[in-house]
Chains A and B, each alone.
Chain A
Amino acid sequence: MINIVTTKFAFDRTTLPFRTDFSAAGTTWILSTNSLEVLRTVADWRVPRKQIPNKTLEMEIVVDGAPDNSRERKAHFRGVRHLVFAFISPRSFVAYDLARRRVHAVLSTTAAGDACFWKTLLIPITIGILGTTVGVVPLHCACLERNGRGLLVAGVSGAGKSTLAAAMALLGFRIISDDWTYVSKGETDLVAHGLLAPVKLLPDTVRFFSELRNFTPSTALNGELAYQIDPQSLGCEVGETSSPRAIFFLDRCSTGGCHLLPCPSEQVRTYFENSAERLPEEIPQAKAFRTEVIRTLAARPAWIVRSDASPQETARVIEDFLLEGDYATV
């Protein structure tokens, strides 16, 4: 028999006396916590911005200093109706309430003070789960920019879009995001947001980028071993937002070389609908908003990039295609 010791955390104004707000990927976060360390960690994200009610989420964080209260475990996510539960290393548990746009988290002391945890895990995961409820649609694609024009680079997991995005960034494109791009509706157009998160490159990409030899791969959230590189450390230019004007779908196949084919808008819509997590019926407005954003995107020019060429070569073909101005007239 095991004697149970329960641990209880109440989330209210008495237990969470410290408050601040900050911005990330077009959303505003109102944060309450019991920890000054958390306030220090999010200070870098603080951008004075007007709070817009339907773009604001509330996050309540208890930092639990008791070292044995939670076992270390692999990332684990489950959702049912409007609730999502997440175990995130190191030793942290987060509950998401999509109906009320609220997050309740018990963080370990290590997680609370780790800026990398916030930047690469907590904030992206939170926007990934709650984003559509606060007017930001997470889309499975990279975003780059050239001459003020945003380009989304999409493709199924393993297609090599991060590798292509890195090659394009090294070619001079400004990189906004790598694996996930967060799209909101601006005053006149869609806005693609990035989180300045590291680019994730699999170990075998070292054959394309000799620069990676100076780095060591680490285990990513999905358990994969990968280089997680700050693009700026490779000399790439990084941006926070862009306006997406065109979409490229990377299709790795053995056809010889690299060819661009027009992609019908219906296929663009299907890709983005199917590459995002299904949303529950409990948040109909969020579902409708995502559908609207994807429909708007699907009206943009789009191409399938069929390539078995190197990422650098593929990036150059795309660059040449853009320079020729073809995409403006298709």
Chain B
Amino acid sequence: MQPSESWRYEDPLDVLRRFIPTPLRARYRIESVGVTVETNDFGLLPALPLQQPDLHPREESMVDWKLIRDHDSHGMLESPRFLTAGSLTIVEMGTACLLGMDRERRELLGFIGAGVDARTYREFLVPFLCEMTVQGFSTDQSFLSFSSGREFGDD
């Protein structure tokens, strides 16, 4: 009798969605910081000044953004909660936006839910990500001081 195949898994699990391919890449400049954005969604490539191809920024001034459009998360943005621990800053805005900024590894990683529309992304999240990047990777490592008067929504 030959063993059947039904007792085993065919592929490794990716319950955490870690391995969603992010084939889209672009390079930008945000003030003095060079940013490489890697994503799975054209809509998440921000309308920011592109890094000039003839410029070769020093590695220590580069930051990686990895932004994953989370098609399984349909909630709306909620008020941000910041968790800061050493070189790590986590921001959660509900399941619609989960961000982790690691200053030591020079990375800003996150999931943007399907419920975040283009306008909210452009007018709220991109400035928010830029502010995090500039503050996080400038010489001033003090506690992030995002203003509480910022607005977002679907007016």
A interface with B by C-beta (< 8 Å): 1-12, 60, 62, 69-71, 73, 76-85, 87, 93, 95, 97, 99-100, 102, 104, 106, 155-156, 159, 249-253, 259, 261, 263, 267, 270-271, 273-278, 280, 304, 306
Distance in angstroms between the alpha carbons of A12 and B85 in the assembled complex: 7
- Known A6-B148, A9-B82; judge A76-B95 contact (CB<8 A): yes
Q: A9-B83, A60-B85, A271-B9 are in contact. Are A4 and B148 (CB under 8 A)?
A: yes
A73 to B93, CA, bound (A): 13
Do residues B82 and A7 form an inter-chain contact, with CB atoms below 8 A? Answer: yes
Once bound together, how far apart are the Cα atoms of A77 and B151, in whole Å? 27
In this assembly, does B45 line the interface, its C-beta being within 8 Å of a C-beta of chain A?
Answer: no
Whether A73 pairs with B94 at a CB distance below 8 angstroms is yes
CA distance A106 to B144 in the complex (A): 18
- A-contact bits for B1-41, CB 8 A (1 contact / 0 none): 10110111111111111110000000000000000000000
Pick from B18, B85, B109: contact of A11, CB below 8 A.
Answer: B85
Given A8-B82, A80-B111, A93-B92, verify A274-B9 contact (CB < 8 Å): yes
Partner of B9, one of A81, A156, A250: A156
Contact B3 A261 (CB under 8 A): yes
A51 to B97, CA, bound (A): 36
Interface flags, B60-104, vs A, CB<8A=1, else 0? 000000101010010100111111111010101011001010100
Chain A nearest CB from B102 CB (Å) reads: 7
Shortest B42–chain A CB gap in Å is: 19
Residue pairs across A and B with Cβ atoms less than 8 A apart, 19 shown, are A1-B151, A2-B151, A3-B149, A4-B148, A6-B81, A10-B84, A10-B85, A11-B86, A70-B81, A80-B18, A80-B100, A80-B109, A85-B92, A104-B85, A275-B13, A276-B13, A304-B7, A306-B1, A306-B4
Q: State whether A156 touches B6 (Cβ < 8 A).
A: yes
Q: Looking at the complex, which one of A80, A251, A276 makes contact with B4 (CB distance below 8 Å)?
A: A251
A-B contact count (CB 8 A): 166
A4-B79, A9-B83, A276-B13 known; A79+B4 contact, CB < 8 A: no
**Which of A69, A70, A106, A277 contacts B83, CB < 8 Å?**
A106
Are B143 and A77 within 8 A (Cβ)?
A: no
Name B152's contact: one of A2, A251, A271, A277 (CB within 8 Å): A2
Given contacts A1-B151, A83-B100, contact A155 B7 (CB under 8 A): yes
Shortest C-beta distance, A191 to chain B (Å), equals: 24
Enumerate chain A residues within 8 angstroms of B11, measured Cβ to Cβ: 274
Give the complex CA separation of A166 and B155 in angstroms: 55
Interface residues of B toward A: which range? Answer: 35 or more
- A5 surroundings in chain B (CB, below 8 A): 79, 148
Bound state CA distance, A193 and B25, in angstroms?
43
Interface residues, chain B, with chain A CB atoms under 8 Å away: 1, 3-4, 6-19, 66, 68, 70, 73, 75, 78-86, 88, 90, 92, 94-95, 98, 100, 102, 105, 107, 109-111, 143-144, 146, 148-153, 155
A277–B92 contact, CB under 8 A? no
Q: How far is the CA of A83 from the CA of B83 in the complex (A)?
A: 13
* Nearest A residue to B19, CB-CB: A278
B-chain residues with CB within 8 Å of residue A156 when the two chains form the complex: 6-9
Give A58 Cβ to nearest chain B Cβ, in Å: 10
State whether A6 touches B82 (Cβ < 8 A). yes
Quote the shortest CB–CB distance from B132 to chain A (angstroms). 12
In whole angstroms, what is the CA distance A133 to B86 when docked? 20
Q: What is the chain A residue whose CB lies nearest that of B92?
A: A93
Whether B151 pairs with A79 at a CB distance below 8 angstroms is no
Q: Smallest CB-CB separation from A77: which chain B residue?
A: B16
Contact A275 B9 (CB under 8 A): yes
**How far apart are A128's CB and chain B's nearest CB, in angstroms?**
10
Q: Are A304 and B13 in contact (CB under 8 A)?
A: no
Taking a contact as CB atoms under 8 Å apart, the answer to whether B150 and A80 are in contact is: no
Q: Name the residue in A5, A9, A78, A275 with the highest tally of chain B Cβ atoms < 10 Å from its Cβ.
A: A78
Q: A4-B80, A277-B14 are in contact. List 18 more A-B contacts (CB 8 A).
A: A4-B150, A4-B151, A6-B79, A6-B81, A7-B82, A12-B85, A78-B111, A80-B68, A80-B109, A81-B109, A87-B92, A95-B83, A106-B83, A251-B3, A251-B7, A273-B12, A274-B8, A275-B13
